[in-house]
Structure 1
């Protein structure tokens, strides 16, 4: 499929693969979710515990599939082996749509933080959408230089984005140790299953991406070893960081302050430290979003390439340059992300983010559900596969009927492309 040979270069080592997992997960979620979770109070803690547990179960399923079914190549290949090409295409397609929408959601979050530095952005017609477009295409150019450049950028941005998260944890710990923390009281009558479920749906958006090392397994050096390690280590570390940071902000800021803040982490640091470090948090948040967009754009190139090589997408998407970079898939994905942005450009900043958040989460859950079902059918980590199926179904229910119907409709919308691919393959021998 290469324009100058089939050999691909620039594979990711363990550090880069772990950075890919953590970098895709640590993006806009940790910086914006405390505002959304504040109304849930202590129910948000329950939501985080459920989400982290469910994500770790699914991450273990990813790790086991990669190690025990290496001939499949990647997770979509495992689904193909279990249920055939049509099922693999449908869930691979909706996951790909999720990646495109996720790129848009994180780009909008970056603009939300930029609006703290440049307040006029949101008042300009289509201002948030245009700003997000600039970010998407700037990072697409980095990925067009090759997977090694994208991997190096991911490691760098991960190191930077951890600084404000550690800052929040240290401030919260100091306040608690000194007895100066004003934590929202725990009211047992306010804890409910429905509230925990609602919080868990929101928190899952922040943990989307634990599977990316498995999706891009063909780009990881020694994948049977490095993909499981990167997946489990990245998921566990990110989950703990999220639990501490988001809980501290949501429970220690007054609820009316947290829910109305466009940058809750910066608000937290300013309230309990000073405005100078808070401004730095805003800068770090923007870098964090850039890193997440970089990781997702890498996947938006690698996944269509892999699907094309397996005959699940037209071969046009699988063409790579001399460095193994899937330029066509990268550019096509960013064009589609741009269309999503422009079609919804009239929405407010928060309206854009909330719409894309729910759609991204629901779309990813279909992929997780079928992946866990494939593990059961392939007799891989069956106890964990059962829990993964139950968790995916429960979270789909929590995402709401509207988001689920949208994602299901988008899944079926890919069928004409599948039939085109099959017809193209059938006609090729005759040609």
Structure 2
């Protein structure tokens, strides 16, 4: 929502200067898509398909076109953080990984997907691969075209890069592409924020209200409650005293999501061990290597969120344990 508002500021400059206008626009998008997602997963899927198709073309034009306008001096200094290169890379890795969170999301609506055994793995690998290509090419292009001092304050870096390549007119269609991309991403996240609590509630590990569905088989309660929380978080970003807390919560989100990733890397080895179809001995070196690398990467990304964030994440996880013990006990009874 924040990215969408920034992109729209190209068309409506007031969004860059008025926090009230920015918040109102962001909230409007959140609740419009919340309503759309209550109409059913097919409707949400149509919106996702259209926005994905519309966003990729302008993003790739900037990402690939920018490679012909690079100035190597803009990549220097490599590390302007005032810390060691390793510390800077570690911190950057965690922020970058925030952009990849949700790479497993294709599995979430699996009950509503045709031929999920083939469709979901393909969607996950193709989606993550395409995102990685766009991320890398666009980051290299933009950082190589715009000085870091200017880039760090830019609300619309893609549009600024497009102006350098094709003139002022390009700013508008690229900003439109970025706004559409953010709108589509927001649609996908709102779909997911209802499906995850719904799945947990069906396993009797979450309050029953999250398991209720409407006539379109949509878990409306989870979507609405999630949108309320998202709305509060977005307002924080436009409140001077809470902007740092917004950044902190992004890091905290990454940290808490990485904990299940740690468990998943360990589970990967166990699943292969238990499944007779996945046990050829010649695959074990690759299995163990892949699992170990993923486990170490997750630990590294957690470390990059900083000491305070890790402590808070640990505190929240520990605070939740008594509640889940009670839930499991009641479930056992």
Instruction: Please tell me whether the aligned partners of residues 237 and 243 of structure 2 are also in contact (alpha carbons under 8 angstroms).
Output: no
- Unpaired segments ≥5 residues, structure 2: 274-286
- Find out whether 1:119 has 2:8 as its counterpart: no
- Equivalent of residue 219 in structure 2, options 326, 335, 358: 326
How many Å apart are 1:214 and its aligned residue?
Answer: 2.4
How many Å apart are 1:362 and its aligned residue?
Answer: 2.1
- Find out whether 1:404 has 2:333 as its counterpart: no
Q: Identify if the C-alpha distance between structure 1 residues 349 and 110 changes in structure 2 by more than 3 Å, giving closer, same or farther.
A: farther
Q: TM-score, normalised by structure 2?
A: 0.84
How many Å apart are 1:211 and its aligned residue?
Answer: 0.8
- Unpaired segments ≥5 residues, structure 1: 1-106, 176-180
Distance, in Å, in 2 between the alignment partners of 1:276 and 1:200 is 34
Alignment-derived partner of residue 158 in structure 1 = 52
- Find out whether 1:231 has 2:128 as its counterpart: no
The structure showing larger relative contact order (alpha-carbon pairs under 8 Å, at least 6 residues apart) is 1
SS at match of 1:121: helix
Distance, in Å, in 1 between the alignment partners of 2:6 and 2:235 is 17
How many Å apart are 1:140 and its aligned residue?
Answer: 0.5
Distance, in Å, in 2 between the alignment partners of 1:290 and 1:262 is 16
Distance, in Å, in 2 between the alignment partners of 1:319 and 1:420 is 22
Q: Identify if the C-alpha distance between structure 1 residues 300 and 412 changes in structure 2 by more than 3 Å, giving closer, same or farther.
A: farther
Q: Identify if the C-alpha distance between structure 1 residues 196 and 344 changes in structure 2 by more than 3 Å, giving closer, same or farther.
A: closer
SS at match of 2:204: coil
- Equivalent of residue 200 in structure 1, options 87, 93, 109: 93
Alignment-derived partner of residue 36 in structure 2 = 142
Distance, in Å, in 2 between the alignment partners of 1:347 and 1:195 is 26
Alignment-derived partner of residue 281 in structure 2 = none
RMSD value over aligned CA atoms? 2.7
Instruction: Please tell me whether the aligned partners of residues 262 and 295 of structure 2 are also in contact (alpha carbons under 8 angstroms).
Output: yes
SS at match of 1:226: helix
> Relative to structure 2, which stretch is displaced further, 417-426 or 130-139?
417-426
Alignment-derived partner of residue 232 in structure 2 = 339
Distance, in Å, in 2 between the alignment partners of 1:329 and 1:346 is 26
SS at match of 2:152: helix
Instruction: Please tell me whether the aligned partners of residues 373 and 389 of structure 1 are also in contact (alpha carbons under 8 angstroms).
Output: yes
Distance, in Å, in 2 between the alignment partners of 1:111 and 1:350 is 16
Alignment-derived partner of residue 301 in structure 2 = 395
Distance, in Å, in 1 between the alignment partners of 2:243 and 2:176 is 19
Instruction: Give the total of aligned pairs.
Output: 316
Q: Identify if the C-alpha distance between structure 1 residues 185 and 174 changes in structure 2 by more than 3 Å, giving closer, same or farther.
A: closer
1:19-418 mapped onto 2 (5 Å cutoff): 107-124=1-18, 126-175=20-69, 181-184=70-73, 192-342=85-235, 345-347=238-240, 354-379=247-272, 381-415=287-321, 418=324
How many Å apart are 1:201 and its aligned residue?
Answer: 1.9
SS at match of 2:73: coil
SS at match of 2:218: coil
How many Å apart are 1:209 and its aligned residue?
Answer: 1.8
Instruction: Please tell me whether the aligned partners of residues 40 and 217 of structure 2 are also in contact (alpha carbons under 8 angstroms).
Output: yes
SS at match of 1:308: helix
Alignment-derived partner of residue 87 in structure 1 = none
SS at match of 1:145: coil
Instruction: Please tell me whether the aligned partners of residues 126 and 346 of structure 1 are also in contact (alpha carbons under 8 angstroms).
Output: no
Q: Identify if the C-alpha distance between structure 1 residues 221 and 379 changes in structure 2 by more than 3 Å, giving closer, same or farther.
A: same
> Relative to structure 2, which stretch is displaced further, 378-387 or 368-377?
378-387
How many Å apart are 1:186 and its aligned residue?
Answer: 6.8
How many Å apart are 1:370 and its aligned residue?
Answer: 1.9
How many Å apart are 1:320 and its aligned residue?
Answer: 1.4
Distance, in Å, in 2 between the alignment partners of 1:336 and 1:142 is 18
Instruction: Please tell me whether the aligned partners of residues 66 and 161 of structure 2 are also in contact (alpha carbons under 8 angstroms).
Output: no
How many Å apart are 1:355 and its aligned residue?
Answer: 4.0
Q: Identify if the C-alpha distance between structure 1 residues 407 and 131 changes in structure 2 by more than 3 Å, giving closer, same or farther.
A: farther
Instruction: Please tell me whether the aligned partners of residues 9 and 15 of structure 2 are also in contact (alpha carbons under 8 angstroms).
Output: yes
Distance, in Å, in 2 between the alignment partners of 1:406 and 1:110 is 29
